[in-house]
Amino acid sequence: MKKLEEGLGTALLDRTTRRVSLTSVGRDFLPKARRLLDDFDDSILNIRELAERQSGRVTLACIPTAAFYFLPSVIRLYNERYPQIRIRLLDLSANEGLEAVLRGEADFGINMMSGQHPDIEFVPLVNEPFVLACRRDHELAGRSSVTWSELSNYRLIGVGRLSGNRMLLDHALSGLSWRPQWFYEVQHLSTSLGLVEAGLGVSAMPSLAMPAVDHPTLVSVPLIEPIVNRSLGLVYRRGASLSPAAEKFVSILLEQWEK
């Protein structure tokens, strides 16, 4: 108390040999002190709740293919176990997702490995091949595999040259005598699928981007010579610690991914 009075520059208590009582300044300060203590107690409780993973928010930056086809089952299970924890999902391109993690806007991300960054830690989850997406009534649909060079006879639908998937393909196919000529260019793989379903052409896309095998219209065929894979994994900002809520989300995600 003496140190507090010294810091305030005034006495809060009148002290005698028989009793201690509040000064006028002390009486004025008392309700403020009580509010401060109440706020402190509330803050401690909130921190304990977060530590116990019972409340808070998880922010995840995820490429759209994983967000659309895989994450819903993870989010559903997470909500069942931790119904008070909110989830903010940033469905971004590969480059935008990495930037969100680097800036601290996302706790972590699911992204493709497209190079090394000194401030990003990448934990691989899966290597998925690029496949041909076509309609079930397309002449290539019944094939066991299709070579990249065979696609020269068809109208190709691809994503823009600045996308992570396009850059990966351009690099992987750079040694071929034939290079894909993209007749249609779109921004998102989901748009490619829409054009394929409409019968406007065929597309090459990661297998995770394809709908379920029982889709009534679309089918995938392995692409070979060469087989092109993309590596998907978790991305973290190097040196940053995950919140307890985010740690639990990652745990459930890994649990579901391995099934």
Burial class of residue 185, CB neighbours in 10 A (0-12, 13-18, 19+):
middle
Q: Check whether residue 141 and residue 163 sit in a common domain.
A: yes
pLDDT computed for residue 26 by the predictor: 61
Is residue 35 pLDDT above 80, yes or no? Answer: no
Q: Check whether residue 193 and residue 252 sit in a common domain.
A: no
Total number of domains constituting the chain: 3
**Domain containing residue 174: CATH number:** 3.40.190.10
- Domain end residue (candidates: 19, 35, 51): 51
Is residue 45 pLDDT above 70, yes or no? Answer: no
Work out the pLDDT band at 179, boundaries 50, 70, 90. confident
Q: Check whether residue 138 and residue 219 sit in a common domain.
A: yes
Q: Which amino acid is at 54?
A: Q
CA distance linking residue 165 with residue 122, whole number of Å = 17
Is residue 18 pLDDT above 80, yes or no? Answer: no
pLDDT computed for residue 78 by the predictor: 94
CA distance linking residue 189 with residue 155, whole number of Å = 16
pTM, two decimals, is 0.69
Encode pLDDT of 135-159 as tens digits.
999 999 999 999 999 999 999 999 9
**166 Cβ neighbours under 8 A, 6+ residues apart:** 158, 159, 160
Q: Check whether residue 145 and residue 216 sit in a common domain.
A: yes
Q: Check whether residue 211 and residue 144 sit in a common domain.
A: yes
**Domain containing residue 23: CATH number:** 1.10.10.10
Is residue 6 pLDDT above 60, yes or no? Answer: yes
Torsion of CA 77, 78, 83, 85, to 10 degrees: -160
pLDDT computed for residue 46 by the predictor: 62
Which residue did the predictor score with more confidence, 109 or 18?
A: 109
Q: Check whether residue 19 and residue 135 sit in a common domain.
A: no
pLDDT computed for residue 29 by the predictor: 67
Instruction: Average the pLDDT over each of 40-49, 75-84, 194-203, 235-244 and give the range with the smallest value.
Output: 40-49
pLDDT computed for residue 49 by the predictor: 58
CA distance linking residue 111 with residue 97, whole number of Å = 7
Q: Check whether residue 12 and residue 106 sit in a common domain.
A: no
Instruction: Average the pLDDT over each of 3-7, 80-84, 86-90 and give the range with the smallest value.
Output: 3-7
pLDDT computed for residue 130 by the predictor: 97
Q: Check whether residue 151 and residue 81 sit in a common domain.
A: no
> In the chain, which ranges are E strands?
13-15, 20-22, 56-62, 85-91, 108-112, 120-135, 146-147, 156-159, 182-186, 202-206, 218-224, 229-237
Q: Check whether residue 120 and residue 133 sit in a common domain.
A: no
pLDDT computed for residue 99 by the predictor: 93
Instruction: Average the pLDDT over each of 40-44, 195-199, 200-204 and give the range with the smallest value.
Output: 40-44
Instruction: Average the pLDDT over each of 52-61, 187-196, 245-254 and give the range with the smallest value.
Output: 52-61
Domain range for residue 175? 128-230
* Both structure tokens of 111: 């992204």
Q: Check whether residue 178 and residue 248 sit in a common domain.
A: no
Work out the pLDDT band at 212, boundaries 50, 70, 90. confident
pLDDT computed for residue 93 by the predictor: 87
Which residue did the predictor score with more confidence, 197 or 188?
A: 197
* 3-state DSSP of 132-149: EEEECCCCCCCCCCEEHH
pLDDT computed for residue 193 by the predictor: 94
Mean pLDDT confidence for 3-24: 69
Encode pLDDT of 65-87 as tens digits.
877 777 888 999 999 999 989 99
Q: Check whether residue 121 and residue 133 sit in a common domain.
A: no
Q: Check whether residue 6 and residue 133 sit in a common domain.
A: no
